[in-house]
Amino acid sequence: MLEHDPRLTLIRTWLTRDLGWRVGRISVASADASFRRYFRVSRGDVDPSGWAPKADTLIVMDAPPGKEDIAPYLKVSTLLEQAGAHVPHVHASDPRRGFVVMEDLGNTQYLSLLRTGRGVDNLYGDALTTLANIQVRGLRAAEQLAPYDREPLERELLLMPEWFLRKHLGLDLTPEERALITVTFEFLINEALLQPQVFVHRDYHSRNLMVLPAAATDKGGPGVIDFQDALRGPVGYDLVSLLKDCYIGWSRERVERWVKGYRRVIGNLGANVGDSEYQFIRWFDLIGVQRHIKVLGIFCRLWHRDGKIGYLADLPLTFDYVLDACRRYPELVEFARWLEWRIAPLVADANARETQRAQAIAAAAPRRKARPARKSRPARKAVKRSKPAKKRKAVKRRKPVKQRKAVKQRKAKTTRRAPPARKATKRRVTPRKRKRARAGRVGKRRIARSKPRVVRRKPRVARRRPHVARRRPRVARRKPK
């Protein structure tokens, strides 16, 4: 697969020819829920002088232009480094082709260690410390980010009716159900806008936090990745993304203990944490409802649009988060009852149906069969020919009709057309002219009476009469007497 990947060929060309690095092996590192892919480039036996400094491996992000933009990633990476978070250091980038070569933070995600159940409090303690630095020390950096206001909040909430309810569960909502959803979404948006605004990662969970190798723990805390969608938004968003993780769950008592401890930490650093613990936990729960409703729609879209079936297994836990939080607040009790009565019985059946469909699609996919090796043919014996074979004359094939028409049109455009001949004006032949023509005064031409010919009129020349001197009458003179 990788041998015939044109993007991978471009990456290798970019590293070797444009950057002047000598690379060893390139392998797939990971892929996320977007069109981005990550490749691990190893140095191998290459001389360290021809390689990036202080690293045996690097990560290359492939973000195809037109589908992904690396400019937000580069901007947010700089802001998070200034806030003290350990993000992959960018060594080089090519925004035109969508490539970024960065520091390799290893393969160990937080999720893999959390599932073992060992060192959970220590892992969450480091993650909460890093989050506190981002939200408190990154307040000035947050001013350079776009606001997480009504428009993105509403757009994310509408993913749930479209992809989870209609596409995945196959529901046709009644007008009353649509009205209930509209009122609930409006309440959640207003509550989100009332919270203090801080730097929001938007995907701060166990799959985007990396356990750093021993050589890269100088900054402390986990490595933070997948931060390119950061905005300036509610203080409880990243906290609920971490502690109410869609990929792993914890008891309510344990989660509330972590939330209260985090409130004390950022409160001592000068952050706005509300008037009481109840208010802060309310912020935490309500923004969690907004996030998990959005995630229900995104997980279903990843399967029905992008063909990624793996996220459907995390729908039940995400749906339970929404139900649990809605039951705790009177403004959302009616919405919780509707979810429990109308939606909850359909989730398991829909997941099972779509899983079977995905298996059927995978089984019906054509598999490539290996071609058998060609057998070597025996050498042919040389045959002596008495006369050389006559060469056949090449038959000139006639061009198709469309090509012939196109050639004619081009020739017609290039050839110049002769100007049309002027028509001679017909002049009237009078009886007097006919009479003079008969007498032969006009010349040898004859004018037919029935069909008059065109006669060109000659310019008239005025005749000058000869001057005759007048003689005065002679008067006889009388003799004088």
State pLDDT tens for residues 187-228: 999 999 999 999 999 999 999 999 998 766 566 689 999 999
Can you tell me the distance from the alpha carbon of 371 to that of 356, in angstroms, rounded to the nearest whole number? 31
The greatest distance separating any two alpha carbons of the chain, rounded to the nearest whole angstrom, comes to 181
Can you tell me the distance from the alpha carbon of 208 to that of 206, in angstroms, rounded to the nearest whole number? 6
Helix and strand counts by DSSP (H, E) for the chain: 16, 9
State pLDDT tens for residues 239-292: 999 999 999 999 999 999 999 999 999 999 999 999 999 999 999 999 999 999
Q: Which amino acid is at 201?
A: H
Please state the rounded mean pLDDT for residues 294-319: 96
| DSSP annotation of 92 | E
Q: Is 246 helix (H, G, I), strand (E, B) or coil?
A: coil
Lowest mean pLDDT among 7-21, 123-137, 209-223: 209-223
The pLDDT, as a whole number, for residue 315 is 97
The pLDDT, as a whole number, for residue 16 is 85
The pLDDT, as a whole number, for residue 275 is 95
Asked if residue 115 has pLDDT above 70, the reply is yes
Mean pLDDT of the chain, nearest integer: 84
- Give the pLDDT band (50/70/90) at residue 405: confident
Percentage of the chain beyond pLDDT 70 is 75
- Give the pLDDT band (50/70/90) at residue 473: low
Please state the rounded mean pLDDT for residues 156-163: 97
Give the C-alpha distances (Å, rounded to integers) separating 151 from 75, 189, 320, 333, 353: 22, 9, 26, 25, 34
**Residue 395 neighbours by CB under 8 Å, 6+ apart:** none
The pLDDT, as a whole number, for residue 413 is 67
pTM for the complete prediction? 0.73
Between 335 and 361, whose confidence is greater? 335
Asked if residue 15 has pLDDT above 60, the reply is yes
The pLDDT, as a whole number, for residue 28 is 85
Between 45 and 172, whose confidence is greater? 172
Which among 68-72, 135-139, 378-382, 476-480 has the top mean pLDDT? 135-139
The pLDDT, as a whole number, for residue 394 is 56
How many residues in total does the chain contain? 481
Asked if residue 409 has pLDDT above 80, the reply is no
Q: Is 232 helix (H, G, I), strand (E, B) or coil?
A: strand
State pLDDT tens for residues 319-357: 999 999 999 999 999 999 999 999 999 999 999 999 999
The pLDDT, as a whole number, for residue 374 is 55
**What would the DSSP string read from start to end of 132-164?**
HHHHHHTHHHHTTSPB--HHHHHHHHTHIIIII
Q: Are strands 99-103 and 57-62 parallel, antiparallel or unpaired?
A: antiparallel
| DSSP annotation of 21 | -
Asked if residue 39 has pLDDT above 70, the reply is yes
Domains of the chain: residue spans and CATH: 1-104 (3.30.200.20), 108-360 (3.90.1200.10)
